[in-house]
Amino acid sequence: MPNPSPIELRKRAVAAYEAGEGSYERVAQRFSLCSRSVVRWVARVRDIGSVAPLKKGGGWQSPVDLDTMHAVAGEKPDGTVEELTRAYNRRVPRPHRVHRSSFLRALRRTGYVFKKNVRGPRRASDPTSKPSGSRT
């Protein structure tokens, strides 16, 4: 969500509309705004007497308990994300278990570096068949 328009701009647009300088569309055009914004600001002034923006809403809280996550990561510092998630889920009650992607986001937010691949030797990238003869 973008940041709200400055309060001074809101006040000037509402004052221009209420002074009869034009319709919502004309005032919006004059200040390079959306006409719906001017409508909302005028209605807000009439309802509560202020053009101040509302508090930003939305968002959500991470379901991952950070204290438990730090403890699990401290016990298995070189574990993969899957291993850490399994260890975390064994420690928390059933309704609070999380998916690997949620655990990974929590790790990233708190600055942990994690392994991308499972431990073990990498597979070599060999050709699938031997060349049959010389190419000329």
The pLDDT value given to residue 62: 85
Per-domain residue ranges of the chain: 7-48, 66-109
Q: Of all residues in the chain, what percent carry a pLDDT higher than 90?
A: 58
Higher pLDDT, 126 or 82: 82
Cβ pair 19, 26 in contact under 8 A = no
